[in-house]
Structure 1
Amino acid sequence: MPAATQPFGHLLKTLDKLIEDRFTSVLELHRLSRGQWRLLSVLAATQSTLGQLDEAMASFPDQSTRESSDVFLEPLLSGGLVAEKGGVFRLTDAGRTEYRRAREDLEGVRDATVQGLAGGEYDRTVRALEKMIDNLTEPE
């Protein structure tokens, strides 16, 4: 196996930044924040109350969505992508269309990320990263 040309940590940070930058660029083209995208994703699967949306948002690991869902809902409501009736939120037809378009563009980023990897190489890489995380995770 050839020697790595860059330190492992540097490669991970570089890849993470590139993926984040590409995702952010795609979302900006659709005039969506990461939090708004996540709400659209939840609502594409099921109608939800504000409490259910807050719970779904809390399951995401980063800090950018720690605010209440209503902060992200307001622009979606005023933009006609989400509607509310009786405390239950759902995607409108325009919201479903925008969600589908953004999802397709984000899938393009995912496809570009793994382009050129041999069969099974992505899965092996993910398993290796999961093992490294397990190795360094402190027992609770």
Structure 2
Amino acid sequence: MAVPRRIGYWLVELDRLITERFDEDLAAGGLGRRQWQILHSLSDGPQRSSELYAAIDAFLADSAEWDTELAAVVAGGLVLEDAGTLSLTERGRDVHDKAWVRIGARRRQMTEGITDEQFAETMRVLEKMVANMSGAEAAH
């Protein structure tokens, strides 16, 4: 008899699949995951570099990764940096928009058969679990 899989398994497996599939979709447009996060964060308009860093720092291995990825999108002509403010260039907007089509299709695939209410509840439950564990002390 198979042992039932617990939440840890499903969270890790979903994260692995999201990372794998989204990386494939982004690579098709010549982007890495962190570069996408920079472009997508700037798609609503310019931001201070420090604010953007704060928004995505949980995904970064360290501050050197931020420096590397930011330098790549600036050198690639996707992002303009002016006095600490970052914005998409015309080329950056085009690359973002094309990637967004692929990412949108992947997101729809991921949530197929899930109602908006189910998705919203899942998000609320996960957020609550994170909040519970963030303040949790080690079990003795």
Contact preservation (8 Å) 2:78, 2:88: yes
Question: C-alpha separation between the residues in 2 aligned to 1:84 and 1:139?
Answer: 40
Letter in 2 for 1:121: Q
Distance 1:107 1:65, change over 3 A: farther
TM-score, reference length from structure 1: 0.77
Shift of 1:113: 0.9
Map residues 54-69 of structure 1 onto 2, 5 A cutoff: 54-60=50-56, 61-64=58-61, 66-67=63-64, 69=66
| Percent identity between the two aligned chains | 30
Moved more, 64-73 or 15-24: 64-73
- Give TM-score, length-normalised by structure 2: 0.77
Question: Which aligned runs of 4 or more in structure 1 are off by greater than 6 angstroms?
Answer: none
Cα distance in structure 2, aligned partners of 1:32 and 1:5: 37
Q: How many residues align?
A: 134
Deviation, structure 1 residue 57: 1.8
Structure 2 gaps of 5+ residues are: none
- Structure 1 unmatched runs, 5+: none
Aligned-residue RMSD, C-alpha: 2.6
Q: Does 1:72 align with 2:93?
A: no
Q: Distance in 2 between matches of 1:55 and 1:86?
A: 14
Change (3 A) 1:74 1:123: same
